[in-house]
């Protein structure tokens, strides 16, 4: 069995399955598959192995987080609107014990007041927002530094 620690879970929450239908001004007009394709390319360059997961079901998402340490060595998390209110997902993330970077496509700190709140504060290594898809590359850089896959 390989001992390399290079598996990064890229987790998308509610409404990301219809990303291409959402406001292109905010979210860029990409589909989730297109976004994941870009993330795969960046991850490969950094020696990381991405594992993708998306769900609109909070229960399913919590279940995935409960088992995250079997699946991944680190994670990028964009939980969408859950970010701002789901204490259940925050508690599940705390159980996971996997270093996680929070990513948002849009600049959540420059939108409505309620989007400035993240229930993941204190649980994540870093929060990256407002960089569009490039924010995931930045997140992968952070993960790569943590796992030591940087060449
Ligand atoms: C988002 C920001 C959230 O406020 C919103 O509910 C989303 C997407 C982002 O990536 O910018 O669904 O997480």
pLDDT tens digits, 104-139: 999 999 999 999 999 999 999 999 999 999 999 999
- Among 37, 84, 85, 104, which one carries the catalytic annotation? 104
| Distance from C-alpha of 118 to C-alpha of 114, rounded to nearest angstrom | 9
Please tell me the total number of residues recorded for the chain in this structure.
151
Question: Residues 6 or more apart from 80 whose CB is under 8 A from it?
Answer: 12, 13, 14, 15, 16
Q: Which of 10, 15, 108, 136 to mutate to test the pocket of ligand 1 (most atoms within 8 A of CB)?
A: 108
Q: What is the pLDDT of residue 2?
A: 56
Q: How many CB atoms lie within 10 A of CB 121?
A: 11
Q: What is the pLDDT of residue 151?
A: 58
Q: What is the pLDDT of residue 65?
A: 98
Residues with CB under 6 A from ligand 1: 15, 78, 80-81, 83, 104-106, 108, 115
Q: What is the pLDDT of residue 3?
A: 67
Separate counts of helices (H) and strands (E) for the chain: 6, 5
Ligand 1 centroid from CA 14, angstroms: 9
Token duo for residue 151: 């060449």
The pTM of this model reads 0.96
Q: What is the pLDDT of residue 131?
A: 98
Domains parsed from the chain with CATH numbers: 7-147 (3.40.50.9100)
Q: What is the pLDDT of residue 4?
A: 82
Cross-sheet strand order for the sheet of 49-54: 49-54, 7-12, 74-78, 100-104, 126-129
In 25-146, DSSP assigns E strands to 49-54, 74-78, 100-104, 126-129
Residues of the chain with pLDDT under 70: 1-3, 150-151
């Amino acid at each position: 069995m390989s001992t390399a620690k290079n598996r990064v879970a890229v987790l998308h929450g509610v409404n990301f399955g219809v990303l291409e239908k959402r406001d292109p001004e905010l979210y860029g007009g990409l589909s989730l598959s297109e976004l994941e394709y870009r993330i795969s390319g960046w991850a490969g360059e950094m020696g990381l192995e991405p594992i993708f997961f998306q769900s609109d079901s909070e229960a399913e998402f919590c279940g995935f987080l409960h088992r995250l340490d079997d699946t991944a060595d680190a994670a990028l998390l964009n939980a969408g609107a859950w970010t701002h209110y789901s204490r259940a997902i925050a508690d599940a993330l705390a159980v996971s014990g996997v270093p996680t970077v929070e990513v948002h496509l849009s600049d959540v700190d420059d939108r409505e007041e309620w989007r400035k709140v993240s229930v993941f504060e204190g649980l994540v290594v870093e929060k990256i927002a407002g960089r569009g898809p490039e924010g995931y590359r930045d997140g992968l850089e952070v993960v790569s530094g943590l796992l030591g896959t940087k060449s």
